[in-house]
Every structure is written in C-alpha cells, then in structure tokens.
A and B are shown apart, each in its own frame.
Chain A
C-alpha cells in the first residue's frame, strides 16, 4: 500500500467554525508533512512530524494546530480561519530515519474554502 489518504476532499467553513483535516498512511513511514498550496503556486511547507514529534513549524499562525496521534495519522485542526486561508492542503509522508534520501508520497489534498 503506497497510498496517503486525506479526508475530507472538500471543506467549506465559516470563520468561527472549528474543523479538522485528517491524513493517514500505512506504509510504515515515520515522517509526515502538511503543505499549503494556493492556486497556481507551489506547495509551501507548514509542519513536519518526525517519529510523532513536531520537527518543523514554519511560522504558521496558531489558528492551525497540527496533531500526530500515532505514526499512521496526522491531523490539522482549524479554528477561526480567515478567507485567505482558503487553499489546497496536502499531506505527505516519507520513511524518516537517518538515511540520506527518502521519497515523499503525497495525498490528494483537501480543498478548503473559508467564507
């Protein structure tokens, strides 16, 4: 199984809502990533978890809160978002460990619209 799954595929929320994005992989990968992608732009790294510990937070506003409950799951909790947060949110995973290279596998993304 070389698949990263993301739910939901689409999400529309108001600025006062609380919602969560979910990501799951069963490849035994120990590194998981959240990216944000605006239209016609490359993905921008938001967070990296390595062995269930937060390794990178790229100065993301606190209205985005990541969580890694176990090595297969990655959540992104959303609260009090702004319309400019509307984007495609991509999850990815890689093997982790100390080797020099590990490929990242991407999920299909969640299309988020904030009204």
Chain B
C-alpha cells in the first residue's frame, strides 16, 4: 500500500522568508506524487505533480518540489512566501486503478505566514 508522511503539522514562517514543507512517501511501485493547497473553507487546488522525468517540478504560485527517490522524499519549497500563502498543504500519492485514481493524502501541514 502506498502512503505519505508529513512530519510537520504546522510551519510558521515570516513573510518573504523561504519555506520547505516536508513529505516522505512509501511505495513499492511507480509513484505519482502531488501537492495540494487548501485555503480556509475551500476545496483542494493542485499545486504541482510528479509523474516521471525531471525530478524538479515547478508548480503554481512560485512553488516547486524535488522528487528524491533515494530518500523517498518530495519536499515542497518556495523561496519567498507571501501572506496569501497561509493555508493547509497536503502531500498525496496516487495509484492508478481500473477507471479511477486512488489518492492517499498526508495529514497536512498548516503554513502560517507571519507579517
């Protein structure tokens, strides 16, 4: 079974500082990894995804993530955060089933940007 672990439940960071949100995965087959963001009282929005190819993945809103197979990690980074980045971030792994995707989410990391 595939799983992801987000070790940090909360990450406070000052505005314009860099941030890294950590995610480790466990999978015995091909891995499809994602980062989703959820703003308060809203649904989930896809930030970026890793399917194959380049290990550095760029997403929306200036975020990027690096797939590291040897460390089984997929950490999310942003060089300079903004107040509007305050949200919950979920790392997820997807497994293709016949006709649908089975997505398993991590427990989430609350990013709190301090002015």
Contact = CB atoms under 8 A, between A and B. Distances in A.
Given A90-B43, A100-B96, A101-B94, A31 B101 contact: yes
B53 to A, nearest CB: 12
Interface size class of A (residues with CB under 8 A): 20 to 34
Interface stretch (A14-22, A67-75, A76-84, A107-115): A107-115
Contacts of A107: 43
A4 B100 CA distance: 17
Contacts of B96: 99-102
9 contacts: A42-B107, A48-B102, A55-B97, A55-B100, A90-B43, A99-B96, A100-B96, A104-B101, A108-B42
Interface of A: 4, 6, 30-31, 33, 40-43, 45, 48, 50-51, 55-56, 88, 90, 92, 94, 96-109, 111
